[in-house]
Amino acid sequence: MRTLKFKTNIQEMSCVDRIASYLDNVKDIISWSVDTNAEDHLLVVQGYEKLQPRDVVAIINLAGFYAKPIKNNLLKRLLLI
> What contacts 19, CB < 8 A, 6 or more positions away?
10, 34, 59, 60, 63, 65
Determine if the pTM surpasses 0.75: yes
The C-alpha angle 7, 15, 30, rounded to 5 degrees, equals: 65
Domain map (residue ranges) of the chain: 2-80
Q: How many CB atoms lie within 10 A of CB 23?
A: 20
Task: Identify the DSSP state of 38.
Answer: S
Instruction: Kindly report, residue by residue over 18-55, the tens digit of the pLDDT.
Output: 999 999 999 999 999 999 999 999 999 999 999 999 99
CATH of the structural domain 2-80, one choice from 3.30.420.40, 3.40.50.2300, 3.30.70.100, 3.20.20.70: 3.30.70.100
Local confidence band at 16 (pLDDT 50, 70, 90 cut-offs) = very high
Residue type, 76: K
pLDDT number for residue 48? 95
Q: Looking at residue 3, what is its pLDDT?
A: 93
pLDDT tens figures, 57-73: 999 999 999 999 997 65
